[in-house]
Structure 1
Amino acid sequence: MNKITVASVIFFIALNSTAQNLFPTKVENCKTDKFCLDCGDEKASYKVDKFEKMIETINHELNLKGVKGSLKVQVLVDSRGNGCVLSHTDKTNNLISQKIVEELNNFNNWIPAKTAKKKEEKVSITLLFSVKDDVLSGKIERVDMAEFKASFDKPTSPEIFNKTYVYKNESLSKYKFTIWNTKNSALSDNGLDHFTLDQNGTLWLLVDNNVQTFNGKEFKTLELNELNPGVKEDYFAIACDNKNSIWFDGLKSIYSYNTQWNKYDVKNIGIDGAWDIVNNDKTDELFFCSEKGLTILSKGKWQTINKGTLPELPSNRVYYSKRDKSGRIWIGTFDGTVMIDNDGKATSYEKTETILKGKCITAMDEDENGNLYFTLFEFNRKNKQSVNNDEGIAIMTKDGNFRQYTTENSGMPFNHTTCILYDKNEKCLWISTDRAGLIRYDLNGTWENYHNENSEIPTSYISKMVFDKNGNLFLATRQGLVKIEKK
């Protein structure tokens, strides 16, 4: 395994704040990009003699007399053997915990994980420290994957941070909800984070380590990708192009499928993975968003936009990008957002005083009048421990004016959003969140909020949405696939 989402036992950077940290106390010193949970044929570990010496140092410098208890620490180990602490279990963050974190961050004798003899880029491991008889000891605690995944296969209560808006949900009664899960269908896993819709109306879902299709009636598992012999492929990003080929980000490779699997050599395309793949159907372009920049496939040719070719780009680490109907390219990086106009002129919003300053766009859509709708991620938060940050959604009208909607000035129930879609039939916005369920905004000031405690939606965690050709809305959730249609 190599990339994101708890549903497939993979994690991503702070854009997915509920997924990246195993433990409640976060330590903001890691560049998390993408990493997997205790993965690899050869697990990440440490040089035993060096680790024991570190433990001796902690015991020598701390007075542990009368102390009892334990601490679990999440550490990221990279391919060079460097490590950093991402989170731990001590909410009080006492001096003992601080000392352990300090020593772990200075420890440089980690052994990287390997898969098929290749080093994993970054791996999350858990260490358990215990004090018994006045002496501290420590060891790696391996993850029981089945138990870990099972812990997420249950609905969580919605977290509504907006305490002033009254949600009447007057539109709720006009919708019919259909849910497919492992109990009532051949869906192989309830944890869905990524899917796409092809030209024929078939859904392609990334489910656990498999790819499944759904034609509205039955689920089928796609034939195995055997282009990497001996490796069970794992996928993260997925998209369908105009030729009805399905594209995947896989284990160190980019693939496509159209009756047969194809693999693309990193030497030819410049990337070996992507955080997102976006099809621009009007221009017949595929955008691959990765740590190498924005890679564009157009008319069979690959081109990468990065800081070397576009100095205005705040970072090569591109999370999301899409071309709007006017031809402008919008790029969200982990250090800011950029727009490239039709003349090739780039505007870095870090150099403006608009609401996009300090934000990375993470999804977007557009209405028939040219108004743009964005989901936002605040990448340089003032309060590192905050969950409900200065994010929400942004609307840019066709005349270039911006407005931001958050829990402070609207009916947004929670500010961290995962996807946004404009409903051309109902003239409203659908906005998904990973804590508060689904939002319906009619653009006239009325906000509705549907989740597992007031509707048939089985969870408050929704990661992706898509419309089919009939205007039905599909949701990828942690408790299965959901279809919403007008009655």
Structure 2
Amino acid sequence: MKRKFTLIFILLITSSIKAQNLFPKKLENCKSDKFCLDCGDIKANVDQIKLEKLVENLNSSNKLNGIKGKVMFQILVDSTAKGCVLSHSDVSDNIISRNIVEALNRFDGFIPAKNKEKNEERTSFNMSFEIKDGSIKAKVERVNMDNFKKSFDKPNSPEIYNKDYVYKNEHLKDYKITVWNSQNSNLPNNMNDHIVIDKKGIIWLTVDEGLVTFDGEKFKNAEQNITEKGKYFAYYAITSDNKNTKWVYGKKNIYSYDDKKWTIYDPKEIGIDGAYEIFNNIKTGEVFFCSDEGLTIYNDGKWSNINKEIIKELPSNRVRFAKRDSKNRLWIGTYSGSIMIDKNNKVTNFEKTQTVLNGMCITSMDEDEKGNLYFGLFEYDLKKNPGKMNKNEGIGIMYTNGTWKQLTTSNSGMPYNETNQVLYDKKEKVLWISSDRAGLVRYDLKDTWENYHNENSEIPTSYISAMTFDNNGNLYLATRQGLVKVEKK
């Protein structure tokens, strides 16, 4: 009897994405915070001669007799031609699939995608490996974007890794949940990754390859109009500053909009051509741009930069997060660790401490009225727990007395340890936590946890990209199934 691989082709992402996978067997082999799907004027590819050698080695080192089937592999390639496997379609995780993954992760024949003759920073593409008549054949398989977008618009079931905590969700009845999507409104599409509410109460939302505003009734196109969009143009980050100027990162450019006109900034003058995230600091008026060039700061018309040349304790120039707390301490998360710079410019490198932040990149932070700090964590060392989905991350808490606590699926009601954002609700005195697999979490800061998602509430998805509050304390969610409002009844 012939054994077969099971091919399950599930499309979960779009062209501009944040650490997502195409196929059900998800791996943690490389840094995949943001990348595009099979993009570029010239697509990512492989050196055919080197691929033939890879296949030859696989054929000689694996027992293939009696095996028939096809497995799809999603591969991430960076601008230096380094590649790694993000996901594949073999849910049985057969030893042959694992061997192919290892071979692809060692493969030196990847060719980066190019856009305007410049290598794309990160792009994913697919390869198929088919076993037939006792041998393997491999080839690149392009994504049909039209079919992809049609198949994407379906919510995924939540992935709850905490099997011990019982979620009673007693407060769910206290909330009115409103959803705007492409079926019940003029929202262009349902894939929303970034959200900000400006001083006029207007919601700004990224939607796949676009940018829209929402006044509570209608969505309006709000895209920059000073650069030709070309074949593909997406928005990867957004914030609104104290002067109500909106800042966005588009394709290789930083833009601002003052409600009258758009302005583009020369990368040679400001030192960056993009950002992982953009954050506004209300108390100081600073706008933080987190990028591969360090932390770039805009304040009152002036640009400055914090990098390893200036702060030797900074673990890496790849800055993912930055925010000041009420004591004017600057917290910075990089993909090699996190630091804090106090008001006297004294630097604490948490890689040299025994705190929760050792081995972690801060990805989010908020503060309650007492001064306690809450952190979203990312375990940046991918070799520490290779292949493990529910890593030792969760949330970190630094209390005002200087003590630390980490909450995970093993010691709390966290349903899943990876978080997208933490937000403290000053009206309800609770912490809201969003994730891309387990939905929305409500934590009362004592011992009660609630978990809302598409299988137990009106929230339409388990994937929540970003959150923010309006001036009335209502919680808004940017999700992969539209815009969601959570308001107290």
Give TM-score, length-normalised by structure 2: 0.91
- Unaligned stretches of 5+ residues in structure 2: 1-10
Q: Which moved more, 1:104-113 or 1:234-243?
A: 104-113
Shift of the 168–56 alpha-carbon distance from structure 1 to 2, 3 Å rule, reads: closer
Indicate yes or no: 2:244 matched with 1:244.
yes
Distance 1:292 1:177 in 2: 40
CA 272–55 in structure 1, closer or farther in 2 if over 3 Å, else same: same
Indicate if the aligned counterparts of 2:27 and 2:389 stay in contact, CA closer than 8 A.
no
Change in CA separation of 1:26 and 1:440 when aligned onto 2, cut-off 3 Å = closer
CA positional deviation for 1:296: 0.9
Equivalent position of 2:353 in the other structure? 352
Q: Give the match for residue 48 of structure 1.
A: 48
- Aligned position for 1:480: 482
AA aligned opposite 1:74: Q
8 Å CA contact 2:12–2:22 kept in 1: the answer is no
Contact 2:24 2:91 in 1 (8 A): no
Contact 1:8 1:207 in 2 (8 A): no
1:20 Cα deviation from its structure 2 partner = 4.5
Offset at 1:56? 4.3
Residue 5 of structure 2 corresponds to which residue in structure 1? none
**Structure 1 residue 23 displacement after superposition:** 5.1
> What are the superposed Cα offsets for residues 160-216 of structure 1, whole Å, 9 maximum, x if unpaired?
222333323222222111110111001111111111111101110000111010011
How do 1:341-420 and structure 2 match up within 5 A?
A: 341-380=342-381, 382-420=384-422
Distance 1:475 1:103, change over 3 A: closer
Q: Which amino acid aligns with 2:125?
A: I
Partner residue in 2 for 1:76: 76
Alignment of 1:10 with 2:12, yes or no, is no
Query: Counterpart of 2:110?
Result: 110
The residue number in structure 2 matching 1:178 is 178
Aligned counterparts of 1:200 and 1:249: Cα–Cα separation in 2: 21
Q: CA deviation at 1:314?
A: 1.3
Q: Which amino acid aligns with 1:445?
A: D
Looking at structure 1, the residues matched to 358 and 82 of structure 2 have their Cα atoms a distance apart, in angstroms, of 32
Q: Give the distance between the partners of 2:227 and 2:283, measured in 1 at CA.
A: 31
2:341 partner letter: I
CA shift at 1:90, angstroms?
Answer: 3.9
> Displacement of 1:21 after TM fit?
6.1
How many aligned residue pairs are there? 477
1:438 corresponds to 2:440: yes
Measured after TM superposition, the shift of residue 59 of structure 1 is: 4.0
1:79 deviates by 3.1
Could you say what secondary structure the match of 2:234 adopts? coil
Matches within 5 A, 1:244-323: 244-258=244-258, 259-323=260-324
Tell me the C-alpha RMSD between the 2 structures. 2.3
Residues 433/79 of structure 1: CA separation in 2 closer, same or farther (3 Å cut): closer
Distance 1:395 1:101, change over 3 A: closer
* Structure-to-structure mapping, 1:58-97, within 5 angstroms: 58-59=58-59, 64-90=64-90, 96-97=96-97
Aligned twin of 2:201: 201
> Do the aligned partners of 1:7 and 1:192 also contact (CA within 8 Å) in 2?
no
The answer to whether the 8 A contact 1:25-1:90 is kept is no
Partner SS, residue 268 of structure 1? helix
Query: What residue in structure 1 maps to residue 132 of structure 2?
Result: 132
Shift >6 Å, 4+ stretches: none
Range with bigger deviation, 103-112 or 246-255: 103-112
Separation (CA, whole Å) in 2 of partners of 1:176 and 1:425: 16
Structure 1 residue ranges without an equivalent (≥5): none
- Distance in 2 separating the partners of 1:436 and 1:95: 29
* Residue deviations 1:292-327 (CA, integer Å, cap 9, x gap): 111111122211111111111111111111011110
Give me the whole-angstrom Cα distance separating, in 1, the residues matched to 2:31 and 2:432. 31
C-alpha distance after superposition, 1:91-112 (max 9, x if no partner): 5655644554454445434333
Instruction: Compute the displacement of 1:248 (Å).
Output: 1.0
The residue type paired with residue 406 of structure 2 is: Q
Counterpart amino acid of 1:432? S
- Cα distance in structure 1, aligned partners of 2:28 and 2:378: 19
Q: Tell me the secondary structure at the aligned position of residue 303 of structure 1.
A: strand
CA distance in 2, matches of 1:109, 1:193: 33
2:207 partner letter:
V
Q: Work out whether residues 78 and 121 of structure 2, in 8 Å CA contact, stay in contact via their aligned partners in 1.
A: yes
Q: Aligned partner of 1:120: which letter?
A: E
Distance 1:229 1:407, change over 3 A: closer
Q: Show the counterpart of 1:160.
A: 160
Change (3 A) 1:407 1:317: same
Which residue of structure 1 lines up, in the alignment, with residue 189 of structure 2? Answer: 189
Q: Mean Cα displacement is larger for which, 57-66 or 158-167? A: 57-66
- Amino acid across the alignment from 2:439: G
Asked if 1:449 is matched to 2:455, the reply is no
Cross-structure match for 2:325: 324
Moved more, 397-406 or 225-234: 225-234
Tell me: CA distance 1:229–1:159, structure 2 relative to 1, closer, same or farther (3 Å): closer
Give the CA deviation at 1:331.
0.6
Structure 2: distance between partners of 1:379 and 1:80: 20
Structure 2: distance between partners of 1:383 and 1:82: 21
Alpha-carbon distance in 2 for matches of 1:55, 1:391: 37
TM-score by length of structure 1 reads 0.91
State the secondary structure of the residue aligned to 1:146.
helix
Range 229-238 or range 342-351, more displaced: 229-238
The equivalent of 2:8 in structure 1 is none
Alpha-carbon spacing, 1:447–1:93, altered in 2? closer, same or farther (3 Å):
closer
Q: Once the 2 structures are TM-superposed, how far is the Cα of residue 365 of structure 1 from its aligned partner?
A: 0.9
Partner amino acid for 1:441?
Y
Distance change >3 Å, CA 50–CA 407, structure 1 → 2: closer
Gap change, CA 1:94 and 1:154, over 3 Å in 2 = closer
CA distance in 2, matches of 1:79, 1:393: 32
Q: Which amino acid aligns with 1:480?
A: G
Alignment CA distance shift 1:74-1:186 (3 Å): same
Report the identity percentage: 56
